[in-house]
Every structure is written in structure tokens, then in C-alpha cells.
């Protein structure tokens, strides 16, 4: 929405949420309880890739 508001056409912006499907932490984060340590460990996995297609 931000990029579109700045004038980039919506059909040129592609986003993909990553996390459980493509974790960067691998098997290093253990546990099921929502502890601060587990939340901090999983933080790098919570990300979105944004790609803008076009020519200059």
C-alpha cells in the first residue's frame, strides 16, 4: 500500500510472506510454550519479501 501510494503501479509489486514455510532459523528454536526466548529465537523467520518489477 505504501509503494502504491508513492506512485508505483500495484501490478508491479509482489509480496510473499515467509516464516514457517521457509525458516532461516532451522531447528535451532525449540519448544511450544510462548516464552520470550522462543519468540526472540523465531523473530528472524517473521519476514516478507517485496519485489518491484519494472524498468527505469
For residue range 3-50, list pLDDT tens digits in order: 999 999 999 999 998 887 888 888 888 888 889 999 999 999 988 889
- Whether 52 is covered by a domain: the verdict is no
Q: What is the DSSP letter of 44?
A: G
- Whether 35 is covered by a domain: the verdict is yes
Q: What is the CA radius of gyration of the chain?
A: 16
Domain count, the chain: 1
Instruction: Give the span between the Cα atoms of 49 and 51, in whole angstroms.
Output: 7
- Whether 7 is covered by a domain: the verdict is yes
Supply 35's cell numbers. Answer: 516464552
- Whether 24 is covered by a domain: the verdict is yes
Structural domain boundaries enclosing 29: 1-45
Query: What is the pTM assigned to this prediction?
Result: 0.57
- Whether 26 is covered by a domain: the verdict is yes
Across-strand partners of 49?
Answer: 16
Instruction: Give the span between the Cα atoms of 31 and 20, in whole angstroms.
Output: 15
Contact 25, 42 (CB under 8 A): yes
pLDDT of residue 4: 92
Amino acid at each position: 500500500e505504501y509503494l502504491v501510494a508513492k506512485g508505483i503501479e500495484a501490478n508491479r509489486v509482489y509480496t510473499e510472506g515467509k516464516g514457517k514455510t521457509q525458516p532461516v532459523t532451522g531447528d535451532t528454536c525449540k519448544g511450544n510454550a510462548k516464552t520470550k526466548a522462543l519468540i526472540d529465537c523465531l523473530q528472524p523467520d517473521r519476514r516478507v519479501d517485496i519485489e518491484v518489477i519494472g524498468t527505469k
